[in-house]
Amino acid sequence: MSLCLTAGAVQADAPLASHWRLDEASGATTVDAVTGASGTLSGNVAFGPGKSGSGLVFGGGTVSAPLAVDTSRSFTVSAWVNLAANCPERKCKLAAVSGDGEHSSRFSLGFVRDRQSLGNWIFEVAEADTDVAPITKSAVAAVPAEFGVWTHVVGVYDAELGETFLYDTGGLVGSGTVNTPWQGTGGFTIGAARKAGATTGFWPGGVDEVRFYGRALTMDEVFELYLSERG
């Protein structure tokens, strides 16, 4: 598998499509620092301590907002996440950030646990938007996730290669293959995902500094982004 990753920091002309700082101290809306669009909080979610300043703390709620990238083309999504604890079930899938479809999420950046592991970060891309469970292609971290700490996770979809890449604290930790691109509905969700028309995978913990880029960032660019945000 060829990664086709080139050197170089995130340049000034890199297409930062949106940046949800999530620094509002209170209220039911949050604003994208790039586009000025607003996201709406609903359910059990509120502003609280974040990675940098304020962030969002989830306990079964969501944030719905416009998505500024075309998910049928190359894109990058990054976020700081703080998973409060492992899920009590032996098998679960939790979403920190997901791209909306009519029936199922186009993509999901979050956490997965199965009976063979304690849980890992995951970047998952669906190959169809259907009511039945869609075929998904996942990039899963090879190392276990940490709980109760802020972690920088990044999902990259490279449409030309037909591949996905997952990064944890600046390092490449997993990759996958996607055969069928499709465009989501134009919205995204923080704190949950969509499966077969239902909201699922509610995130139990914190999310902060959600960014979208309109292309596939390189390995070195992801590392530089992590360094610039880790504080």
Residue pLDDT, tens place only, 27-66: 999 999 999 999 999 999 999 999 989 999 999 999 999 9
Mean of per-residue pLDDT scores for the chain: 88
pLDDT digits (tens, 9 = 90+) for 183-227: 766 899 999 999 888 899 999 999 999 999 999 999 999 999 999
Identify the CATH number of the domain defined by range 16-229.
2.60.120.200
Predicted confidence (pLDDT) at residue 3 exceeds the cutoff of 60: no
- Decide: 221 and 8 in contact? Cβ < 8 Å: yes
Least confidently predicted of 49-53, 140-144, 150-154: 140-144
What value does the mean pLDDT take over residues 69-74?
91
221 CB-near residues (< 8 Å, 6+ apart):
8, 9, 10, 14
pTM of the predicted model as reported, rounded to 2 decimal places = 0.90
pLDDT of residue 133: 53
Predicted confidence (pLDDT) at residue 11 exceeds the cutoff of 60: no
Predicted confidence (pLDDT) at residue 169 exceeds the cutoff of 50: yes
Strand 16-20 relative to strand 204-213: parallel, antiparallel, unpaired? antiparallel
pLDDT of residue 6: 35
Predicted confidence (pLDDT) at residue 7 exceeds the cutoff of 50: no
Collapsing DSSP states into helix, strand and coil, what is residue 227?
helix
Backbone angles phi, psi at 104, to 5 degrees: -135, 155
Let me know the angle formed at the C-alpha of 124 by 135 and 73, rounded to the nearest 5 degrees.
Answer: 90
Residue 130 pLDDT grade (very low, low, confident, very high; cuts 50, 70, 90): confident
Predicted confidence (pLDDT) at residue 135 exceeds the cutoff of 70: no
* Residues in a beta bridge with 94: 111
Residue with tokens 């979610």: 45
Least confidently predicted of 127-141, 160-174, 187-201: 127-141
Backbone angles phi, psi at 24, to 5 degrees: -65, 140
pLDDT of residue 38: 98
Residue 14 pLDDT grade (very low, low, confident, very high; cuts 50, 70, 90): low
What's the rounded Cα separation, in Å, for the pair 28 and 228?
28
pLDDT of residue 103: 84
Collapsing DSSP states into helix, strand and coil, what is residue 141?
coil
Residue 137 pLDDT grade (very low, low, confident, very high; cuts 50, 70, 90): low
Percent with pLDDT over 70 in the chain: 90
The residue among 202, 183, 221 whose CA lies nearest residue 63 is 202
Q: CA dihedral defined by 81, 27, 190, 149, rounded to 10 degrees? A: 10
One-letter amino acid for residue 39 of the chain: G
Domain ranges of the chain: 16-229
What value does the mean pLDDT take over residues 89-104?
90
What's the rounded Cα separation, in Å, for the pair 231 and 152?
12
